[in-house]
Amino acid sequence: MEVCVKDNGVGFDAEASQRLLEPFYTTKEDGMGMGLAISKTILQSYGGRLWAENNRGAGARFFFTVPAADASAVAVAPRREQERGDRATVFIVDDDPSVLKALGRLIDSAGYAVETFSSAQAFLQHERLDGPGCVVADLHMPGETGLDLQSALNARNYTLPIIFITGAGDTSTGVLAMKQGAVDFLSKPVGDEELLRVIARAVNTDKQARTQYTQHVVAKEKVAKLTGREIEILDLVVKGMRNKQIAHTLGITEKTVKAHRGHVMQKVEAASVADLVRISENAAASP
């Protein structure tokens, strides 16, 4: 289905016609330049598109298309229709209400749960997130800055990845932010696709870190069930030693080694030596 909206205004010049749909492009003094870019992203997520052209006389026309609603369209509907519990959460921290609204719509259109905060302090007072996600924060805010927010999160061992997006950044500040663990440092204007790509990478990094941490905790709990002798057996098995070599190294019989080894496999729930190695490595890994 195609929809056309037209007016009888002044239209737009050649430069504007090429940049209308770019994020942050605007001809208004107080404009954000995000409305059309967000509309474009939302339509594309549903398989549609958006474009504009001048009328032959006065004014301009805007067109957009959306696919007809059928079974296949429902099957490929954006992830925003999923339950909130299945989605990663993106926290937006910015003192500009228009930025919060614009970025919130853009990020929500990509299928993420979104929560917005007008200051670093407001976010720090928020209940800690248990699921995957990331933070998108402005660098220059009244009171506590984006770097202050980052330092506070690091001090609390809050491992959510943070992305800075700002219109007044500089190289030295960006380097400092990255050294302190920021995923990326983006200067305006930033394209919606680029921002969503960085967010996807940050969320994926967070998911991997959470998976690794869970594996570490589970493996550590399993290894904690072992006796001192069983831990010795585990370490030597992981190093590739056979029962006879382990017996010689520890000064015990091969039969005793086999008995201990069986107990180790049972306690850590390992079905093979490969499982044993994986569990040992996960237990030893830094969380």
Residue 66 sits in a domain whose CATH number is: 3.30.565.10
Mean pLDDT of 155-179: 79
211 has a pLDDT exceeding 50: yes
Contact between 76 and 54 under an 8 Å Cβ cutoff? The reply is no
Contact between 230 and 257 under an 8 Å Cβ cutoff? The reply is no
pLDDT, greater one: 79 or 217: 217
Place of tokens 């550590």: 220
Instruction: Give the closest residue to 187 by CA, choosing from 206, 162, 163.
Output: 163
Highest mean pLDDT among 39-53, 179-193, 262-276 belongs to 262-276
Contact between 198 and 220 under an 8 Å Cβ cutoff? The reply is no
Confidence of residue 75 (pLDDT cuts 50, 70, 90): very low
Is 217 among the domain residues? no
- 203 shares a domain with 112: yes
277 has a pLDDT exceeding 60: yes
Confidence of residue 233 (pLDDT cuts 50, 70, 90): very high
Weakest mean pLDDT among 164-168, 206-210, 263-267:
164-168
92 has a pLDDT exceeding 90: yes
- 184 shares a domain with 273: no
- 97 shares a domain with 21: no
Q: Which domain holds residue 13?
A: 2-74
pLDDT, greater one: 98 or 23: 98
- 56 shares a domain with 109: no
First to last CA, the chain: 51
CATH of the domain at 169: 3.40.50.2300
Q: Tell me, what's the pLDDT at 64?
A: 79
Is 98 among the domain residues? yes
Q: Tell me, what's the pLDDT at 36?
A: 66
Cis omega (within 30 of 0) on the bond before 189? yes
Mean pLDDT of 231-260: 95
Work out how many domains the chain is built from and give that number: 3
- 180 shares a domain with 120: yes
Is 216 among the domain residues? no
- 118 shares a domain with 93: yes
Q: Which of 156, 180, 208 is the last residue of a domain?
A: 208
